[in-house]
């Protein structure tokens, strides 16, 4: 596995755990609002899985877990081996995924290699191509979310309020899934890098905390496990 960065400590990325966050390189989606665009291709500052494991060995007894994020971790054929080594060191594991490879997520669950999963629930079916670069991204993500429910794994789905997303579209997006244990809504932040052709879209209006508060009750009618940062 090739990592593009390592956040040495986080109190917010892994619920209930003090963790580090390791970001892999490469993704099979190309979301116009991506906040980690520098990870989509090879670059400077790369770390090997061995270097990440060495870091974890030095943090045994200090950290509870690791978040494996990206990029997209499930693209790596050696993800399973890496997670087995992490587990052998005694760490809890959270996987951040775009949900495009439900079969990989299912195999990891069945091998008890993940303790918590966060799946991106990005856009309505009719908007997936323009938002993510892949027309059926919503379908694969939904498959991943449903299997997590079936496996009774601790998880959350999460939606970023990307520029141009409306109140009505957010409500519809929330309604397309059964009631989840946790449905997290993240507010948009301007990415440090973006494609020039995406600048106009990135300048579209974004839903605010005031907007979300106005429709919170309606969202909760579909997703009572709604989570969002009020302050």
Residue 192 sits in a domain whose CATH number is 3.20.20.70
The 10s digit of each residue's pLDDT in 194-214 is 999 999 999 999 999 999 999
Confidence category of residue 38, pLDDT binned at 50, 70, 90: confident
The total of structural domains in the chain comes to 1
Q: What percent of the chain has pLDDT over 70?
A: 98
Confidence category of residue 231, pLDDT binned at 50, 70, 90: confident
Distance between start and end Cα atoms, the chain: 37
Q: What is the mean pLDDT of residues 64-73?
A: 96
What is the rounded average pLDDT for all residues in the chain? 96
- Rounded CA-CA distance 186/22 in Å is 20
Containing structural domain, residue 62: 2-228
Confidence category of residue 159, pLDDT binned at 50, 70, 90: very high
State yes or no: pLDDT of 42 exceeds 90: no
State yes or no: pLDDT of 164 exceeds 80: yes
Confidence category of residue 217, pLDDT binned at 50, 70, 90: very high
Q: What percent of the chain has pLDDT over 90?
A: 94
Per-residue pLDDT, 44: 67
State yes or no: pLDDT of 150 exceeds 80: yes
Nearest CA to 162 out of 43, 31, 65, 38 is that of: 31
Per-residue pLDDT, 82: 98
State yes or no: pLDDT of 45 exceeds 90: no
In terms of Cβ atoms closer than 10 Å to its own Cβ (0-12, 13-18, 19+), residue 199 is: exposed
């Amino acid at each position: 596995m090739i990592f593009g960065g390592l956040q040495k400590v986080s109190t917010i990325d892994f619920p209930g755990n003090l963790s580090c966050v390791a970001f892999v390189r490469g993704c099979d989606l190309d979301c116009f609002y991506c906040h980690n665009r520098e990870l989509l291709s090879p670059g400077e500052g790369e770390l090997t899985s061995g270097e990440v494991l060495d870091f974890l060995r030095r943090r045994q007894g200090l950290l509870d877990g690791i978040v494996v994020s990206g990029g997209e971790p499930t693209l790596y054929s050696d993800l399973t081996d890496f997670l087995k080594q992490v587990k052998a060191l005694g760490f809890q594991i959270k996987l951040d995924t775009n949900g495009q490879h439900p079969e990989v997520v299912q195999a990891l669950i069945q091998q008890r290699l993940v303790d918590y999963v966060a799946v991106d629930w990005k856009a309505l079916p009719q908007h997936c191509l323009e938002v993510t670069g892949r027309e059926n991204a919503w379908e694969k993500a939904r498959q991943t979310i449903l299997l997590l429910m079936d496996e009774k794994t601790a998880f959350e789905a999460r939606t970023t309020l990307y520029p141009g997303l409306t109140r009505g579209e957010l409500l519809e997006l929330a309604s397309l899934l059964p009631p989840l244990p946790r449905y997290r809504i993240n507010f948009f932040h301007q990415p440090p890098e973006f494609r020039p052709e995406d600048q106009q879209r990135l300048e579209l209006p974004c839903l605010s905390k005031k907007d979300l508060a106005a429709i919170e009750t309606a969202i909760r009618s579909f997703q009572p496990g709604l989570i969002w940062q009020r302050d």
